[in-house]
Chains A and B, each alone.
Chain A
Amino acid sequence: MQALLSYDQSPPLGAPLRFFLTAPLFGILAGLLLLWSGPEALAARWTPAALALTHLITAGFMLQVMLGALMQILPVLLGANMANPMRVASVVHAEITLGALFLVAAFLSFSPWLFKLAALFSGLGVACFVGSAALALHGIASTNPTTQGLKLALLGLSVTLVLGMLLAVSLGWSLNLPLMLLADIHLGWGFVAWGVVLLAAVGYVVVPMFQLTPAYPGWFARYFSFSALAVLVLWTIAEFNQWVFVSAMLGTALVALVVLFAGVTLSIQRRSKRPRFDATQHLWQFAMLSALAACAVWLAARTFPLFDGWTGWPVLCGVLLLFGGFMSVIVGMLYKIVPFLVWLHLQNLGQGRVMAPNMKKIIAEREMNRQMLAHFASCALLLLAVWWPLWFVYPAGLALLVASGGLLRNLLSALSVHREHRLKIESLICADDLPLT
């Protein structure tokens, strides 16, 4: 039996993998930044180190994995094939990596030309990706919630990028723009329209598939992305017009939608057919609980003026969302996506004569669990560092360094399984003069 899977629906392994392997390097840089800057990184939302730390995770770690995963998901799930996927991957990867590095350097130095370079490279990278994705999606009907959600998420990414570029350009050329307002709207679009909508759209497929849960309820999958986008647009209008009460109500509605997503995900996870949770499920569960905690902090700050007066609450919210929420869920997804891709490509290379290794052996379960515990420890230490920065910021930085290093090592171990197996296939098949596909 040849047992070939389709290559024409899957880009070369190097296309998504370069993004996945770069992401942990940004996690390592975030750990080093915490060790270098000390308590300043978590002192308040607007310190240079806090802004640099935030963007190492969002424009660095998260963006790398999200775009890498889309390179794979668009053709395989939606049949939206990008033209020249390797060339697009190389260009986008180089541009967004440089863009994120320039941006972090710009926040730490407040050098205008670094902001200009950050805007240029991030702008080019994301525009190149969104343009290629839009061309690939042209003519693909939005017949299911995943397709609808992915299209809306790309719109969310575009708006987030434009607002981010506006902020960077304004800092680069000292323009007189309302920076705080733009930054809030940039954050709203990045978090909800890009982050949560993308996560939900991908989750509709990968949660039931890899976690053996029931499907997301039909009503939720049909309306969630559109509702989130509609409320976000209204909230943006209210923010621009400074309609304080309306904006607060719409902001609360957005948070309620995030609570709904986390609640529904936890509810279907509880009905998983798997007798024992694996690392991916633990990481997803931790992420959803962190998101719920972040929403509770946000609502508490909006309800109790005393709490709102504490400068630490936005930092607490940020740590819960970025490290506890997005970073956890992304690590959990990488532990399914990367072994699956390695398996898929080896299965095709083997031409049915050399079977691909068992997917569960591509990254050792024990190593994934150890890295997961290091990640949980780094999240706990970061939370403690929000209250007691002098005591906990250095252990938190060290833990983040260890967890990100562990993630990189685990992903590289999957790559080394691919290399070893490829050599085995080459020696067996090329000896018979059969061409490798």
Chain B
Amino acid sequence: MNQARAERVIDGRSMEPPEPFVHTMEALDTIKPGQKVLLIVGREPIPLYRALELNGFSWQTERLPDGSVEVLIWHRKS
């Protein structure tokens, strides 16, 4: 269960693009190294991955039985 491992959880399943992206980036602005943000969305957020890569984050994606996708994000260690 990823929710217990994240400081901030964003449920983007009832949000219209680009709101899940905007909220995730805002949340990532507030976390410290070692903390995590969890995004839950209806489908795999491919464009977000490139943004995370460009901005120095690592992530782990997990597909849920109902078809939703959980993306756990944290600061990449330099």
Q: Which residues of A contact B (CB under 8 A)?
A: 1-6, 8-9, 76, 205, 208-210, 212, 215, 273, 340, 343-344, 347, 352, 359
Contact = CB atoms under 8 A, between A and B. Distances in A.
A28 B55 CA distance: 45
Contacts of A347: 18
B54 A4 contact: yes
B25 interface: yes
B50 A5 contact: yes
Interface residues of B, number: 19
Closest 6 CB pairs of A and B: A6-B50, A3-B25, A273-B14, A1-B29, A4-B54, A2-B55
23 contacts: A1-B25, A1-B28, A1-B55, A2-B54, A2-B55, A3-B25, A3-B55, A4-B50, A5-B21, A6-B47, A6-B50, A6-B51, A9-B47, A208-B42, A208-B43, A210-B16, A210-B17, A212-B14, A340-B17, A343-B18, A344-B18, A347-B18, A359-B17
Nearest to B27: A1
Contacts of B54: 2, 4, 6
A200 to B, nearest CB: 17
A343 B18 CA distance: 8
Q: What's the dominant secondary structure at chain A's contact region?
A: loop
B51 A5 contact: yes
B67 interface: yes
A6 B47 CA distance: 6
B42 A215 contact: yes
A343 B21 CA distance: 12
Most chain-B CB neighbours within 10 Å: which of A1, A2, A76, A205? A1
A196 to B, nearest CB: 23
A209 B51 contact: no
Interface of B: 13-14, 16-18, 21, 25-26, 28-29, 42-43, 46-47, 50-51, 54-55, 67
Nearest to B30: A1
Contacts of B46: 9
Nearest to A77: B46
Given A1-B29, A215-B67, 17 more contacts: A2-B55, A3-B25, A3-B51, A3-B55, A4-B50, A4-B51, A4-B54, A5-B21, A5-B47, A9-B46, A9-B50, A208-B43, A209-B43, A210-B16, A210-B17, A340-B17, A344-B18
Contact of A340 (B18, B29, B51): B18
A76 B47 contact: yes
A286 to B, nearest CB: 20
Contacts of A208: 42-43
A4 B57 CA distance: 12
A209 B50 contact: no
Contacts of A209: 16-17, 42-43
A2 B25 CA distance: 9
Contacts of A9: 46-47, 50
Nearest to A10: B47
B17 to A, nearest CB: 6
A340 B47 CA distance: 13
